[in-house]
Structure 1
Amino acid sequence: MDGASHSTPTRAFTVLVTAPALAPSGAALLADAGCHVLYLSADGEAGDADLTRLLATVAVDAIISRTAMLTAAQLGSCPTLRVVCKHGVGVSNIDVAAASALGIPVCVTPGANAQSVAELTWGLIFAAARRIAWMDGELRAGRWSRAQDGLQLQGRTLGLVGLGDVGQRVARVALALGMPVVAFDPARRTLPAGLEGVHLLAAIDDVVRAADVLSLHVPLNAATRGLMHAERIGRMPRGAVLINTARGEVVDEPALIAALQSGHLFAAGLDTMATEPLPAHSPLLSLPQVVLSPHVGGSTPAALDAMASGAARTVLAALTQGRIDPACCVNPQVLSLSSCRAMP
């Protein structure tokens, strides 16, 4: 699905981006195809109202979805809508069931941000294990606080919940560091090439009990919401580290806070939280053993460019050729229906 394969449409397709901007590579592909591109100008309630209005009043052909919620009512209000593509891989903000009922394929851009998320995962692991953020704060406050209780990672077991594009990259670094790696992924029966040193376990709790560092790499859905509940967090070894670059709702946040306050867990590194932006009163902010980042794992310029171009190619292939790659579609059953809107 390269850019050269897209001819200029006979009419200007309208593509709605649910954000104020799209990275240059994606915007250029849409412009070259003669598309009329609309952007949301605001976030929060104002952005939601703008999105609702546009879908109800403008003949939108495709949506490139960022973080704004796409509800059943919004999707149903736009009879011209033929395809939705997530700028990333998490579709918890899209009512996929409603889209399926309407015959609208929902696609993702797998792997586009995986390297950036994996690198931030390791940034959080190192920072949490060695208390880097706390020591930086101490020095800036004029205190020479030489923490000497950090964790050396070599020889400690890394547990991965989810062994997709991100998890595989995280695993390769761990193996290079001399960390044993165990993983659980219900969708995977065999190990990918190059990961023969990883032990694929049959149950999530086997990984949880073994992991000195536990890193989460799963989508948010009915099966994973609250996956790391209080009882499961309690099964982690005393002094373990929990890392979450997936979705905040995967972790029972009060249970995590309690485990950190009691000393059961040594530290946590979180790029995602149950409520975003993180409320000013969140106990996470007062815990020195927690390292936080504002959901930016996949937000480097390189990742944003890759997601934007991937999403643009996907919607252009659908609009100009009626072509959807089933491997990138989260509701592929729609593609075989006569009511599928992506078909020309």
Structure 2
Amino acid sequence: MRLRCAVLDDFQKVATQLADWSAVADRVDVVSFPEHFDGLDELALALADFDIVVTLRERVPFPAELFARLPRLKLLVASGMRNSVIDHAAAEAHGVTVCGTGSSPTPPVELTWALLLGLARGIVTENAALRSGGPWQSTVGADLHGRRLGLLGLGKTGSRVARVGLAFGMRVSAWSRHLTQQRADEVGVELASSMEELLAGSDFVSVHLVLGDRTRGLLGPAELALMKPTAYLVNTSRAAIVDQDALLAALHEGRIAGAGVDVFDTEPLPAGHPMRTAPRLLATPHLGYVSRANYETYYGQAVEDIRAFLDGAPVRRLG
């Protein structure tokens, strides 16, 4: 009996192009879904006849209720080696093996700098004006050299962002609850005395923390109020780390110079969401990890995970 595999949220329709699925073609039929399924009912209905599901990052939650409604599901492959929206205990209880894939921190670093540079030099505003016959030069760019870049988090992504900042000649400092002087010295950055000091003294603030109980809502109204009115905030980590209402208020009231955001409280972002029309905002549709090399890794290793599972020796198990 042939098995059926669903590939979720294949927005660009590239899942079967960027990996060689021939290793499992004799045993598995692959169906790619370019549309996003909203809500548990729609998702459960779409996946009812599938034995295997491949999902990207944390786009689609898999709670206990969903596993209960998918009795045919035996293997769930999620890109990356950590996924907070999968109920691993429920997966195990329903006999579903969960596997992951490799993931490079480099694409999010590059997008972080794309957003930061775009904000600093008014790229979108100036490009739109040039193409529409608008004013010739309407913005005055913010300098990077000699300015302070404050990083919330100095892990795999944050440390790489730091090194680029240093190459620009920026003064780079970092803070997180467990960041040590030794780690800061290894990367070559200053250890901020507190989050409050980092926010108040930085010209650019970039978020690179893992979402958890201690970081959810970490930057609220009081924290954003500490930032300079000339400062920029970039978040390519997780939307919930920054209070979305507080951020929108700060942007509308001009209390910060601008924000670059790649992550949102609801994804895909609804058509009428206020983030779509907020002033001083440079936003991208969660592109941080969306690059050819990363997708080749995700889908290529998803095929490996499927083959190993079918051979009775699952690899890269999560849980």
Could you say which TM-score interval applies, normalised by the shorter chain? 0.7 to 0.9
Number of corresponding residues: 314
| Map of 1:36 onto structure 2 | 28
Structure 2: distance between partners of 1:200 and 1:105? 41
1:246 deviates by: 1.9
| Map of 1:164 onto structure 2 | 155
- 1:230 matches 2:237: no
Structure 1: distance between partners of 2:6 and 2:274? 38
| Map of 1:71 onto structure 2 | 63
| Map of 2:8 onto structure 1 | 18
Q: What's the secondary structure of 2:187's corresponding residue?
A: coil
Note closer, same or farther for the CA distance 1:220–1:25 as it changes in structure 2 (3 Å cut): farther
CA contact (8 A) 2:103 2:294 kept: no
1:272 deviates by: 1.9
Of 249, 268, 285, the match for 2:259: 268
2:90 partner amino acid: A
| Map of 2:141 onto structure 1 | 150
Note closer, same or farther for the CA distance 1:71–1:38 as it changes in structure 2 (3 Å cut): farther
Q: What's the secondary structure of 1:299's corresponding residue?
A: coil
Note closer, same or farther for the CA distance 1:35–1:125 as it changes in structure 2 (3 Å cut): farther
Structure 2: distance between partners of 1:136 and 1:102? 52
2:285 partner amino acid: P
CA contact (8 A) 2:175 2:191 kept: yes
| Structure 1 runs of 4+ with >6 Å offset | 190-194
| Map of 2:198 onto structure 1 | 207
Structure 1: distance between partners of 2:55 and 2:146? 41
Q: TM-score, normalised by structure 1?
A: 0.76
Of 176, 180, 193, the match for 2:171: 180
Note closer, same or farther for the CA distance 1:240–1:106 as it changes in structure 2 (3 Å cut): farther
Structure 2: distance between partners of 1:193 and 1:105? 39
- Indicate the structure whose relative CO is greater, using CA pairs within 8 Å and at least 6 residues apart: 1
Q: TM-score, normalised by structure 2?
A: 0.81
Structure 2: distance between partners of 1:318 and 1:184? 41
CA displacement 1:102-135 (0-9 Å, x = unmatched): 56564443533x2222111101000111111112
2:111 partner amino acid: L
Q: Map 1:98-177 to 2 at 5 A.
A: 98-99=90-91, 102=94, 104=96, 106-112=98-104, 114-177=105-168
Structure 2: distance between partners of 1:224 and 1:76? 31
Structure 2: distance between partners of 1:162 and 1:118? 13
Structure 2: distance between partners of 1:195 and 1:26? 36
CA contact (8 A) 1:56 1:74 kept: no
CA contact (8 A) 1:226 1:249 kept: yes
Structure 2: distance between partners of 1:78 and 1:97? 15
2:62 partner amino acid: L
Structure 2: distance between partners of 1:306 and 1:322? 20
Structure 1: segments with no counterpart, 5+ residues: 1-10, 332-344
Structure 2: distance between partners of 1:19 and 1:286? 25
- 1:52 matches 2:25: no
Structure 2: segments with no counterpart, 5+ residues: none
After superposing the two structures, state which structure 1 stretch, 154-163 or 89-98, moved more: 89-98
RMSD over aligned Cα atoms: 3.4
Note closer, same or farther for the CA distance 1:26–1:139 as it changes in structure 2 (3 Å cut): closer
1:161 deviates by: 2.1
Structure 1: distance between partners of 2:195 and 2:89? 27
1:247 deviates by: 2.6
Identity rate of aligned residues, in percent? 32
1:270 deviates by: 1.2
Q: What's the secondary structure of 1:235's corresponding residue?
A: coil
Q: What's the secondary structure of 2:257's corresponding residue?
A: strand
CA displacement 1:162-217 (0-9 Å, x = unmatched): 33332222122111111122223456657679953123457544433343211122
CA contact (8 A) 2:68 2:94 kept: yes
1:218 partner amino acid: L
Structure 1: distance between partners of 2:211 and 2:282? 22
Note closer, same or farther for the CA distance 1:46–1:212 as it changes in structure 2 (3 Å cut): closer
1:47 deviates by: 8.7
